[in-house]
Amino acid sequence: MHNIDSIHNVTTLPLGEGRLEVVCGPMFSGKTEELLRRVRRAVIAHQPTLIIKPATDTRYAIDEVVSHDKNAMPSKVVKNSRDILNSLEVDGKMALVVAIDEAQFFDDELPEVCNELANRGLRVIVAGLDLDFTGKPFGCMPQLLALAEEVTKLHAVCMETGRAAHFSHRIAGGDNTIELGEKDRYVPLARHAFVVFRKKENSK
Ligand code: ADP
Ligand code: MG
């Protein structure tokens, strides 16, 4: 049996909040916007905040996280998820909040790394595509979704039906799971439209 006094003994609590938040959805659903919104509020609260993105995402800028409506904030570029554990300094202080964009591009160790950071008392906010262009769970996102205290699923506007889009349909490019692109390559679709387009694709 736990002693309730020891549970509520604040001296045993880490400095920060220690939690994992995941923001997911298709392309253009506002994941980066939402990540940056949460980061801005943490900065207002004077919490040392670090934004991280994978080296693979070079779409708009090398060292900035940029949303499709051109909102931007400086970020640290990291090759492997383990490197995040050694990049926690921001303006000479240890980060209390770590925001990671495009999580689906990271290696399989990212969930473990995020869990470790949250256990140490950091607030970890992760944004990423939950599904790839074929509609399958993307990379390590399923593990992150399972580990998170809080999950936010966002939707884009379906360009065929105007409904809530949950899928990112690829209109150009190859068959690789990772294929960087914008409106020239991807279109957000609701389920029915996505199923119709995938059937057409598969019967080619
Ligand atoms: P994500 O990170 O999920 O790809 P962003 O945060 O970068 O999304 O961009 C979201 C912005 O994309 C919206 O605020 C809007 O201005 C723009 N946008 C373009 N096409 C769409 C669409 N079909 N549905 C919703 N937003 C769209
Ligand atoms: Mg984004």
Site to probe by mutation for ligand 1, drawn from 37, 66, 67 as the one with most ligand atoms within 8 Å of Cβ, is 67
Q: Residue 54's closest CA among 25, 82, 95?
A: 82
Q: Residue 50's closest CA among 94, 6, 2?
A: 94
Q: Which residues pair with residue 124 across a beta bridge?
A: 20, 98
Residues 6 or more apart from 159 whose CB is under 8 A from it? 165, 187, 188, 189
Read off the pTM: 0.91
Site to probe by mutation for ligand 1, drawn from 24, 28, 154 as the one with most ligand atoms within 8 Å of Cβ, is 28
Catalytic residue among 17, 21, 33, 102: 102
Angstrom CA distances, 200 to 160, 171, 196, stand at: 15, 12, 6
CATH topology of domain 4-154: Rossmann fold (3.40.50)
pLDDT in tens, 132-171: 999 999 999 999 999 999 999 999 999 999 999 999 999 8
pLDDT in tens, 29-44: 999 999 999 999 999 9
Is 64 annotated as catalytic?
A: no
Interior CA angle at 150 toward 145 and 155, to 5°?
75
Angstrom CA distances, 6 to 3, 12, 26, stand at: 5, 8, 43
